[in-house]
Structure 1
Amino acid sequence: MTQATGATPWFRNFRPAPQAPLRLFALPHAGGSASFFVPMATALSPAVDVHAVQYPGRQDRRAEPNETDLERLADRIAEALLARPDGRPYALFGHSMGAMLAFEVARRAESAGVGPAALFVSGRQAPCQDRADDWLPFTDEEIIEELRALDATSAGLLDDPEVQQMFLPALRADYRAVRSHHHRPGPPLRTPVTALTGDADHLCVPAKADFWREHTDGGFELHVLPGGHFFLADRLDEVAAIITGRLLHLSAVAA
């Protein structure tokens, strides 16, 4: 049963684990929605209480306009996260575009004095490795071809004009947000960072993922798993083990 987190429209709790000592806020990729994290929520419950972020413009927020500014989207997510009714410790997990957002949310949370216990960044090169000339899809045709290359969904669905009109508006907005975003140099996070990537992910080769260590003073780990950009789907058990193992270790250190 899906539960909203309080009265906010931003978070979806697909497998409630109210007795878990920590919440994990999970931010999806470009074009993605909260339901992408149903399998992860299932794999981590009841040890971790997963709350998936629902961006505007998709699923039950479809009537709202898509956000096209990544900094503004990070502001809005951080505001909702910091307004939680309880002070339970939390961690952040982001995949691809969601990793960029999770990093920006962590920055804002640390500035407010309530940083996360851990930051997990998946399928995304480190911010210091972003380049102004990095190619991103622009036209609808390029977006569809990129989805084919990433094996993000079945070819039959990608060829269906009605289905295209369902997913293209969110992808247009998200790619626009990513294209216009430029990393702002600043002090490293105090939050421990764990980076994950697939060994066949052309969008996030391990060498560039390793540079996430430059963005934290709190400790760093890199995990390279078999698979492409969406290795999470095929390696969920290993990803869940990495998350729980890291959180248990950090909890033991804190204690």
Structure 2
Amino acid sequence: MKTSKAQLFLLHFAGGNVYSFRYLTPLLKGFDVIPVELPGRGKRMASPLLHDFGLAVEDTYQQISTMRNGAPFIIFGHSLGAYLALAVTQRLEKQHQPPAFLFTSGNAGPGIRETDDWHLLENDDFIEKLTALGGIPEEFLADKDLMSYYLPILRADFELAEKNTIDPFVTNVPIYAMMGNQEENAGKITNWQRFTNAPFYHSLFEGGHFFIHDHPEKIAGIISAYCNDLTSAAT
């Protein structure tokens, strides 16, 4: 008999892909880390982008369901990924197959507007908003070819986030919410508590929306501290 590591599914932010958490993955040695990727980018470039939040939830749910191996599992999502993480957790809870823990990052949760129809902005205005938000390397912003490739992805993902349709269903899964203390709605982080009957925790980190890039050790430490006993006996 052997012990299987708990699975940790990582859901990326708008414009992200399967490589978006490379800085964090090496610090999570106690887990089987599995990045999940929406279609239309990275390894799924040949698939069409999604513009409907429900379809994105279904896509994410199917990926996680397919990759489950029987071990306990955890879901972590940043920004758009946090909305998807909650929606998928709700669905799994209704099917009596919930994750052991949910970690949300980079927004204050459903019902609190983070951006206002950015996906409809003209290119220059959209890029200006993205620049202020951070997270996009300067070399990308300066390269017209790169930006022409990424802008449709970013627009589609912002549309998903801005039109998210989250069920009011309250789960029994513990939630740990994280945000940067410079984010506009950082003071409303406890909004996430509305979606769980289980223990709720939260932390504010120094930084803006992409604080995750500045605090990988702390984030990995939190995940490990709350989930390091999740093991499954497997033959």
Superposed pair shares fold, TM > 0.5: yes
Q: CA deviation at 1:113?
A: 1.2
CA distance in 2, matches of 1:92, 1:145: 31
Deviation readout 1:45-88 (Å, 9 max, x if unpaired):
2x111100111000121111001111111112112322336211
Distance 2:106 2:192 in 1: 12
Q: 1:240 is matched with which residue: 212, 220, 230? A: 220
Aligned position for 2:97? 114
Match of 1:194 among 165, 172, 176: 176
- Structure 2 CA distance for partners of 1:223 and 1:79, relative to 1, 3 Å: same
Q: Measure how far apart 1:178 and its partner are.
A: 2.1
Return the alpha-carbon distance in structure 2 between the equivalents of residues 38 and 152 of structure 1: 14
- 81, 88, 101: which one aligns with 2:84: 101
- 1: CA distance, partners of 2:171 / 2:9: 18
**Change in 2 beyond 3 A, CA 1:19/1:144:** farther
Pairing partner for 1:128 from 95, 100, 111: 111
Q: Show structure 1 runs of 5+ residues with no match.
A: 1-17
Counterparts of 2:67 and 2:137, CA distance in 1: 37
1:57 aligned onto 2:29? no
Aligned to 2:156: 173
1:19: Cα distance to partner?
Answer: 6.1
**How far apart in 1 are the matches of 2:163 and 2:68?**
33
Q: Quick check: 2:83–2:164 contact (8 Å CA) kept in 1?
A: no
TM alignment of 1:1-255, pairs within 5 A: 21-45=5-29, 47-84=30-67, 86-130=69-113, 135-137=116-118, 138-139=120-121, 140-186=123-169, 188-202=170-184, 204-205=185-186, 207-248=187-228, 251=230
Per the TM alignment, residue 20 of structure 1 is displaced from its structure 2 partner at its CA by: 5.1
Which deviates more, 142-151 or 95-104? 142-151
* Identical amino acids, percent of aligned pairs: 30
TM-score (norm 1): 0.83
Which stretches of structure 1, 4 residues or longer, exceed 6 Å deviation after superposition?
A: none
TM-score (norm 2): 0.90
CA distance in 2, matches of 1:35, 1:171: 16
Q: CA deviation at 1:180?
A: 2.4
Work out the CA distance in 1 between the residues paired with 2:222 and 2:54: 29
- Report the CA distance shift for 1:19/1:161 in structure 2 as closer, same or farther (over 3 A): farther
Counterparts of 2:102 and 2:10, CA distance in 1:
10
Do the aligned partners of 1:130 and 1:183 also contact (CA within 8 Å) in 2? no
Letter in 1 for 2:188: K
**Residue 136 and residue 80 in structure 1: after superposition, are their counterparts in 2 closer, same or farther (change >3 A)?**
same
CA gap of 1:85–1:23, structure 2 versus 1, over 3 A, is closer
Question: Does the 8 Å contact 1:82/1:109 carry over to 2?
Answer: no
Contact 2:178-2:203 within 8 A present in 1 as well: yes
Match of 1:3 in 2: none
CA RMSD of aligned residues (A): 2.0
Change (3 A) 1:156 1:79: closer
Contiguous gaps of at least 5 residues in structure 2: none
Q: Is the 1:89–1:117 Cα contact (8 Å) retained in structure 2? A: yes
Residues of 1 paired with 2:16 and 2:74: CA distance? 20
8 A contact 2:108–2:191 mirrored in 1? yes
